Structure 1
Amino acid sequence: MHFLGIPTSRAASLIVSDEPVIRDKFYNGNVKTERGAVVLRLAKSWFRIGSLEILSQSGEIDLLRKLLNFVIDEHFSSINSDDPDKYLVFYSTVVNETANLIAQWMSVGFAHGVCNTDNFSLLSITIDYGPFGFMEAYDPGFVPNTSDDEGRYSVGAQANVGLFNLEKLLNALSPVLSKHQQNQAQRILKGYANINQMRIHQHFKAKLGLLGEEEEDGYLIAFLLKMMEDTQSDFTMTFRQLSEVSAQQLHNRKFPQMWALEDLSSHKLFSDWLGMFLLRLSRQLNDSDLQRQNRMKNVNPRYVLRNWMAESAISKVEMNDFSEVELLHHILSHPYVTQETAEEAGYAARPPLWAKRLKVSCSS
């Protein structure tokens, strides 16, 4: 996630032990013994929305105020500690940055898996990686967590879950806000959806190489995503391959060996969308096709950590072979650059059929 440009905690080390750990991955009684492992993660802060909720709900208001002051002084340097509205400014910042973070998740097809208030950072960074996943076939209902039967945390629901969590944050802050400040905070919260939608719009415009703003841009993006959903086109590779073909190749419908674009082009309305897209590009003054391609390559990764790639590496680690872990670490440190070793490993190829059978849970 860091190398994708998304705010996140970092992994400092991974230690594998010979100590056995009993796992019931899918909570069905099918217990399996695995080797224990510890990941040491680093972040500027591990305080999350739940850290404030627990103090507010237990009536520990003095401690709540002390914690807020500490977090603001340590991590929100732009907020004046003497400002009588500092808690309101803090809330406004968290609302804005949470909207931005979730838009960034959506731009790479990332589903966190468990988006409760205990897993949402006050610094709006990605923390608490559990049953997460990157979309393969585009599907707003994609749920990586097999325990999430209702799809509460599906990739397409994350923005609404963010709103729910920010409502909980406002409830937690209410004891330290005046009535007037609470009303202002409510207005700030009402602006969350627009901020998130605007950021998503900006990200997807960049993914298509669009400059400026035209009235039809939102429709062009929505049209593409609907075709991708209908054809089950791969999210990552559809955008990447659009960045790797020239406008002339698109016009001629010639994109050999580009499997994701071939899937997309099977849609009966593909020609209609393509015509709109090429016409939109043609109106971009002082912009060459090569410049457009380079811009798109810089925001559309060729490689993301797909679950089947992780599973392949895990299977080798169980036999004391860490070669694929090291390979993934190297490749995913440069996700926007085409790499020969990654191509040989099939990391940009059509996912294997067995990948569809993979499931993850909080115990995976």
Structure 2
Amino acid sequence: MHYLGIPTSRAASLVVSDDDVWRDQFYNGNIKKERGAIVLRLAKSWFRIGSLEILAHSGELDLLRRLLDFIIQEHFPSIAMNDSNRYLEFFSTVMSETANLISLWMSVGFAHGVCNTDNFSLLSITIDYGPFGFMESYDPNFVPNTSDDERRYKIGNQASVGLFNLSKLLQALKPLLDPRQKQLASQILEGYGEHYYSRFTELFKTKLGLLGEKENDNYLIAFLLKIMEDTKADFTMTFRELSEITADQLKELHIPEEFWALQDLGKHKLFSEWVTMYLLRLKSNNNDSDAKRRTRMATVNPRYILRNWMAESAVQKANLNDFSEVQLLEQVLQHPFQRQEAAERAGYSLRPPAWAKHLKVSCSS
């Protein structure tokens, strides 16, 4: 995630034990022995919405105020501690940064898996990696977590869950706010949707190489996502291949065989209509060229992400004391936007294998 440009905690070490542990990975009664391992993660802070929520719920308001002041002083230097509206400023910052973080998740097809208030950082960084996953075929209903039967945290719900969590943060802050501040805080929360969709649109325009603003940009993005959903086109490689294909090839609807995701997309009856709209929009880019467009897009559309099948393959080898693929993934994912021969040989940009189609993870994965 760090190398994708997304705020995140970092993995400092991975220690694998020779001792086995009993695990029921999918909570279905199939307990088996597996090697134990510990990941050490680092972050500027591990305070999360739940850190404040629990104090407000238990009525520990003095401790709530002291903790909140500490968090602001340590991690929000732009907020003056003598400002009577500092809690409003804090809430406004967390609101906008949370909207930004979830927009970034969506721009790379990342589903966190368990988006409760205790897993949402007050610093708006990605924490508590558990049953997460990168979406392969574009599907707003994608759920990486095998235990999320109700699809509460499906990828298409992440923005609305973010709003819910922020409403819980506001509820925790209200005992520290006067009536006027409470009203202003509610207005701040109402602006979440606009913040999110503005940032989402900005990111996807960048992914498509669009410069400036045009009236139909939102429609162009939504149109593409709809035909991607209909054709189950691969999310990552569709945008990556749009970064690599030339405008002339698109105009002629000549999709080379290597662009397998675009070939899937091209099966849609409305694909040619979208291409016509897209090429017309690209012509409105000022001081641009097709070469510049492709170079620009290749810096924001990754060629490699951590797909579940890649992680599973590395885990299976590691269980046999072969850490070669763990090391390969570490190397490849540090440069996700650059074509790498080792990654190509490993098939990391090819169509995912059939056996990986239904892979899911759990909190015990």
Same fold per superposition (TM over 0.5): yes
Residue in structure 1 matched with residue 348 of structure 2 by the alignment = 347
Residue in structure 2 matched with residue 136 of structure 1 by the alignment = 136
Question: How many angstroms apart in 2 are the aligned matches of 1:18 and 1:59?
Answer: 46
- Distance apart, 1:252 and its partner CA: 1.6
Match of 2:357, SS state, is helix
Matches within 5 A, 1:230-309: 230-256=230-256, 257-309=258-310
The answer on whether the counterparts of 2:227 and 2:268 sit within 8 Å (CA) in structure 1 is yes
Match of 1:199, SS state, is helix
- Distance apart, 1:345 and its partner CA: 0.3
- Distance apart, 1:250 and its partner CA: 0.8
Match of 1:357, SS state, is coil
- Distance apart, 1:179 and its partner CA: 1.2
Residue in structure 2 matched with residue 31 of structure 1 by the alignment = 31
- Distance apart, 1:146 and its partner CA: 0.8
- Distance apart, 1:255 and its partner CA: 2.5
| TM-score of the superposed pair, with normalisation by structure 1 | 0.99
The answer on whether the counterparts of 2:211 and 2:286 sit within 8 Å (CA) in structure 1 is no
How big is the alpha-carbon RMSD for the aligned residues of Structure 1 and Structure 2? 0.6
- Distance apart, 1:21 and its partner CA: 1.3
Amino acid corresponding to residue 359 of structure 1 in structure 2:
K
- Distance apart, 1:282 and its partner CA: 1.2
Matches within 5 A, 1:145-184: 145-184=145-184
The answer on whether the counterparts of 2:12 and 2:40 sit within 8 Å (CA) in structure 1 is yes
Query: After superposition, what is the alpha-carbon deviation per residue over 1:223-258, rounded to whole angstroms, capped at 9, x for unaligned?
Result: 000000000000000000000011011112222121
Matches within 5 A, 1:1-364: 1-256=1-256, 257-364=258-365
Question: How many angstroms apart in 2 are the aligned matches of 1:124 and 1:285?
Answer: 34
Question: How many angstroms apart in 1 are the aligned matches of 2:359 and 2:96?
Answer: 35
Amino acid corresponding to residue 17 of structure 1 in structure 2:
S
- Distance apart, 1:363 and its partner CA: 1.1
- Distance apart, 1:300 and its partner CA: 0.3
Amino acid corresponding to residue 320 of structure 1 in structure 2:
N
Amino acid corresponding to residue 338 of structure 1 in structure 2:
R
Question: How many angstroms apart in 2 are the aligned matches of 1:109 and 1:284?
Answer: 26
| TM-score of the superposed pair, with normalisation by structure 2 | 0.99
Structure 1 runs, 4 residues or longer, greater than 3 Å off: none
- Distance apart, 1:19 and its partner CA: 1.9
Match of 1:281, SS state, is helix
Question: How many angstroms apart in 2 are the aligned matches of 1:137 and 1:264?
Answer: 11
Greater alpha carbon shift after TM alignment, 217-226 vs 354-363: 354-363
Match of 2:131, SS state, is coil
- Distance apart, 1:38 and its partner CA: 0.6
- Distance apart, 1:285 and its partner CA: 2.4
Match of 1:202, SS state, is helix
Question: How many angstroms apart in 1 are the aligned matches of 2:71 and 2:286?
Answer: 46
Q: Identity across aligned pairs (percent)? A: 69
Amino acid corresponding to residue 46 of structure 1 in structure 2:
W
Query: After superposition, what is the alpha-carbon deviation per residue over 1:46-89, rounded to whole angstroms, capped at 9, x for unaligned?
Result: 00000001111111111101100110000000000000000110
Amino acid corresponding to residue 141 of structure 1 in structure 2:
N
